Structures are given as structure tokens and as C-alpha cells.
């Protein structure tokens, strides 16, 4: 009886990466989106890449905002740029909330 209980405890305790098997799809989506889940050590190259992408993303957002302010008298141009800026602003909001 003890052997049966020990084997079920081993499977339920997470010895075989239980969180990996349960949340496989969700972890895949997070990793695909660029969020390291700290399950494996992150290399320096990935850290530099991630920092570069974030700097470029935030600079693009600021540049879009400045472009809207400069060309605010041209309604057609401003509306086109405003749509892109709102998408970037939502992404910035989500990034700040998740990180």
C-alpha cells in the first residue's frame, strides 16, 4: 500500500515539472510574446536584445506623440498617426502592468 501512495505522491508533487505540463500553452504564448518566465536561465544576449527592443519601442512611442503635436493642424495626417499612437500607448500600458 505504501508503494502505491509513494508513486502517486511523486507524480502530484511536481517532480516531473507539473507546472510545465499544466500550463504548457500559456507558457508558450508568454515566451512567444517575449516574457521570460524564469524557468531557464536567461542569457546575456537575450537580455541585451530585450533591452534594445524596449528602448526602441519607447522611443517610437515618444516620436509618434511628438509627430502628432507637430502636425496637429493637418487633420488627415494627425488621425492616421493617432491610430498608431493609440495602439502603441495600449501596448506600453500592458507592458508596464505586466512587468
Q: What is the pLDDT of residues 61-83, one digit of tens each?
A: 999 999 999 999 999 999 999 99
What share of the chain in percent tops pLDDT 90? Answer: 42
**Residue 56 and residue 94 in one domain:** yes
**Residue 56 and residue 30 in one domain:** no
Q: Which residue range(s) make up the domain with 28?
A: 1-37
Give me the sign of the Cα torsion angle 22, 24, 29, 30.
positive
Q: How far is CA 63 from CA 7, 19, 23, 44, in A?
A: 59, 41, 38, 28
**Residue 65 and residue 82 in one domain:** yes
Report how many helices (DSSP H) and strands (DSSP E) the chain contains, helices first: 5, 0
**Residue 22 and residue 47 in one domain:** no
The pair phi, psi for residue 96, each rounded to 5°, is -65, -40
At 69 the pLDDT is 93
Between 1-5, 58-62, 78-82, 95-99, the lowest mean confidence (pLDDT) is in: 1-5
Amino acid at each position: 500500500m505504501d508503494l502505491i501512495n509513494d508513486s502517486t505522491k511523486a507524480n502530484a508533487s511536481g517532480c516531473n515539472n507539473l507546472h510545465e505540463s499544466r500550463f504548457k500553452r500559456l507558457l508558450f504564448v508568454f515566451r512567444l510574446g517575449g516574457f521570460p518566465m524564469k524557468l531557464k536561465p536567461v542569457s546575456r544576449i537575450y537580455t541585451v536584445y530585450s533591452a534594445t527592443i524596449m528602448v526602441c519601442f519607447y522611443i517610437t512611442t515618444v516620436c509618434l506623440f511628438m509627430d502628432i503635436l507637430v502636425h496637429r493642424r493637418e487633420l488627415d495626417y494627425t488621425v492616421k498617426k493617432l491610430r498608431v499612437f493609440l495602439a502603441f500607448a495600449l501596448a506600453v500600458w500592458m507592458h508596464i502592468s505586466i512587468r
